[in-house]
Structure 1
């Protein structure tokens, strides 16, 4: 019996990701189902396609040759099937997006819910990740990133707010015990809650006011890659936090946190949806691009507060 399309697609996903778990996370399935598909495919072909160890998954020479031929062929098949969407009133299919945690948590929900309501035939798969990856090689249709991470050969479309900012804050109890800093340089004498990205990078804190820029790497009791944990630590009075306003503003409004150094908060341009320039854009992606463009046009017609000077957040 010849191999089926799902087995071939599973093989390409694992071979490109070099990991069963990685391919499963990107495609929204399970590592065990991918492993079973690969076992069946190799049994049908009578050839080992992947070398598997506890540490790595790499294509054999036969697997590499098969992947080189299959990847573009599967792309052509997907494009051919998607062309049928042009004969429907509403597009159908899966739209796979990769987005930073802040976008997935605070920006994408409102946009995604309205888009899905308008396009009931589309299934949206979103993977939140702060790592910079090749979205196309990883099996995504598009990604969301900030300006300094956009590849030049990609098409970029603004999505969500065009200006965001970082704010510093601390719990009232912490400020009562340790004092309120009047200048960012004073943070070196404070306990600070830091963020580390999935890449392992712990970015410095950058502040700007009237042309003066201050960059420092303070220390403190917590270093994490989860915004919820960092905010909880700040609310518990463990130290000063500096992060996206979208995460901190709700706690500031309830009084659990107090904004500090407000004139120094760094502003930066909002995120962009980016995708490859290709002739046959998948119908779900085309619909999503049209949707966010129309959404941006509506926002531009509304009165907006004066924006701060823009610079990109460190990644």
Structure 2
């Protein structure tokens, strides 16, 4: 049987949010309304789509299969409806972005205020996470990633600074107390504040100078998840708790006011900046097209 498009969108919102209350915060509908909508959809289809407990909501096997196909399908529907935007005086609609936390912290704050001011009829929804996701399946129009994590069938547009560096830093008081490393291997004798990806992997600290590359795996008193929790590692470093390794631009304000001191700066490794990426096999929605054009006109 045919199902109402709104019911399908409600199911997708609840399944992705992991609960009715969580979905209510992002959709503008009440939790009870979303619950009734999903029940109606399940009744019409004759199959349970969500397993509900007092603490969480998770898709059943049937629900997971439906969710997997709905993301791309509803994306195509939105793209088809977006064709009428070409007849408007200015673009309108919703732009959904999936970005790593570092992009939400260092790239988007410079882009979004002038973009939103230039396009008042566009609403931007940002999901910041460091795990790699299928942007179509997740219901997003585009994402931001670095080149080593881009999919082959995506169109990629440079966004943000084109060259970046990883920096190591510590509070001057810590370095006065423990000494200033002269070589990356000296870090093995220091308290290092580490980050770990959601997958469980803990990347080593890589350095490069005059063609020599060095990779070290130091230990220390603090291990945090990558992303926003890195601000905790920075705070501990500022208080003299150890050495932190992070994007130079993330640490730049602390260098400028003296709370942190660069460590091993001649060894900092440089890498190319991030890209805005999106699928090239369908019509580009008007909000995304406006954003792409805006990004192309930015100077970094």
Tell me, yes or no, whether TM beats 0.5.
Answer: yes
1:134-283 alignment runs, 5 A limit = 134-225=134-225, 226-283=229-286
Change (3 A) 1:23 1:138: farther
Alpha-carbon separation, structure 1, partners of 2:51 and 2:259: 50
What is the Cα deviation at residue 198 of structure 1?
2.5
Task: State yes or no: 1:52 paired with 2:45.
Answer: no
Alpha-carbon separation, structure 2, partners of 1:169 and 1:69: 46
Q: Is the 8 A contact 1:194 1:222 kept in 2?
A: yes
1:12-161 alignment runs, 5 A limit = 12-13=12-13, 17=16, 20-21=18-19, 28-29=26-27, 32=31, 34-43=34-43, 45=44, 47-52=46-51, 57-59=58-60, 61=62, 74-161=74-161
> For structure 1, which runs of at least 5 residues remain unmatched after alignment?
300-315
Alpha-carbon separation, structure 2, partners of 1:232 and 1:64: 40
Deviations 1:41-77 (A, max 9, x none): 224x16223151658734455x578668765653343
Deviations 1:262-293 (A, max 9, x none): 10011110000000003411110011111111
Deviations 1:9-62 (A, max 9, x none): 1224556x5x6259957x93489465443123224x16223151658734455x
Deviations 1:72-126 (A, max 9, x none): 6533431232111101121100000011111101111111111111111100001
Alpha-carbon separation, structure 2, partners of 1:47 and 1:238: 58
Q: Is the 8 A contact 2:13 2:27 kept in 1?
A: no
Q: Is the 8 A contact 1:184 1:207 kept in 2?
A: yes
CA RMSD of aligned residues (A): 2.7
Alpha-carbon separation, structure 1, partners of 2:8 and 2:212: 56
Q: Is the 8 A contact 1:13 1:23 kept in 2?
A: no
Q: Is the 8 A contact 1:7 1:41 kept in 2?
A: yes
Q: Is the 8 A contact 1:227 1:247 kept in 2?
A: no
Change (3 A) 1:255 1:70: closer
Alpha-carbon separation, structure 2, partners of 1:195 and 1:72: 33
Alpha-carbon separation, structure 2, partners of 1:199 and 1:113: 33
Q: Is the 8 A contact 2:68 2:137 kept in 1?
A: no
Q: Is the 8 A contact 1:233 1:239 kept in 2?
A: yes
Change (3 A) 1:60 1:23: farther
The TM-score with structure 2 as length reference comes to 0.87
Q: Is the 8 A contact 1:191 1:239 kept in 2?
A: yes
Alpha-carbon separation, structure 2, partners of 1:13 and 1:23: 11
Alpha-carbon separation, structure 1, partners of 2:104 and 2:232: 17
3-state SS of the aligned residue for 1:152? coil
What is the Cα deviation at residue 136 of structure 1?
0.9
How many pairs does the alignment contain?
291
